[in-house]
Amino acid sequence: MIIRSKAPLRIGLAGGGSDVSPYSDLHGGAILNATISMYAYATIEPLEGDKIIFHAIDKDEIIELDSKENLELDGNLDLIKGIYNRVVKDFSKKALSFKLSTYVDAPPGSGMGTSSTLVTAVLGAFAEWLNLPMGEYDLAHLAYEIERIDLDMAGGKQDQYAATFGGFNFMEFYKDDKVIVNPLRIKSNVIDELSNNIILYNTDTSRVSADIIAKQQKNVRDKNANSIEAMHKIKNQAILMKEALLKGELNKIGEILNYGYQYKKQMAKGISTPLMEEIYTEAINAGASGGKISGAGGGGFMFFYCPANTRYNVINALKKFQGKVHRYEFTKNGLKTWTNR
């Protein structure tokens, strides 16, 4: 028997960062994101005996452990161990024996929500295997708790919900970890035009998102007026983006992205870098009307809105850098799990 799952990565179109505590607890957050055809995958193969094997295929890492109820977090695939520990604690109540293989289509530090999407995929595979009684909100919230509370990894709340629900969603975040996911009914021709006009670009750089997020959180705790005002503007950007997409006002997308780009840089130091500024300027000069740093910033992916027929000029202009344009499609579905007997 083989149990499989896959969960889509996402791009945050607007509002990114307003889902991070303590800002979301104090002021409420809002994000508009959309899942794309890049995934995190998990496969569980039950084993006889008392062994656990973790194989992170994309990282070329494999470890074999004795099966027990709680695995030590020693810096070696702790993300996967943390999921297992929580599943045993909350559900199975006993040690399990299996091989878990994982793969993610984008590298860590890409700004695409890779770690949270991987947690969602792995948790989904366990839920399929053990027939765990969890709905979409339950699974997304548990994935959030494992990453942010159990493993104390800094970050927001959007990624786990995007990976679980899939599609275009306007998400609202409140205190006490309350999240409301509002699926958007966007016309198919609007989605097709977005897919054509939005260029997804890997800058071929990486960053530790936790460092930037920690600065953002400190700015809120220290009541840094400029940073908090920038977060207010970013939250408003999500509302503007929602209205433009639902009304099919594609001519406003680039302007809204550029609006957010300018304010996002004021949320914390390190969100943009000299290289990213150069890339952004080059894309704008080539015809893009706006763009965005994906995720917390500091490296990883960027994307640009290229109206009319400017995408080809922008792609050519970006060839001077070391990065790569990625093909993708927007997806309607979130986490999928299945069993092959």
CB 7 within 8 A of CB 117: yes
Burial (CB < 10 A; 0-12, 13-18, 19+), residue 250, is: middle
Nearest to 43 by CA among 107, 122, 160, 131: 122
Pinpoint the alpha helices (H) of the chain: 23-27, 78-87, 114-130, 136-145, 158-165, 188-197, 209-221, 225-247, 253-264, 274-285, 311-317
31 phi/psi in degrees, rounded to 5: -140, 145
Partnered with residue 275 across adjacent β-strands are none
Catalytic residue chosen out of the listed positions 159, 176, 204, 211: 159
Place of tokens 């997806």: 331
With a CB cutoff of 8 Å and minimum separation 6, the contacts of 146 are 82, 83, 86, 119, 123
Identify any residues that bridge with 35 across adjacent strands, giving them in sequence order.
10
Asked if 138 is an active-site residue, the reply is no
Under 8 Å CB-to-CB from 190, ≥6 apart: which residues? 245, 248, 250
Contact 294, 114 (CB under 8 A): no
| Of residues 38, 332, 31, the one with CA closest to residue 192 | 332
Which residues belong to the active site? 159
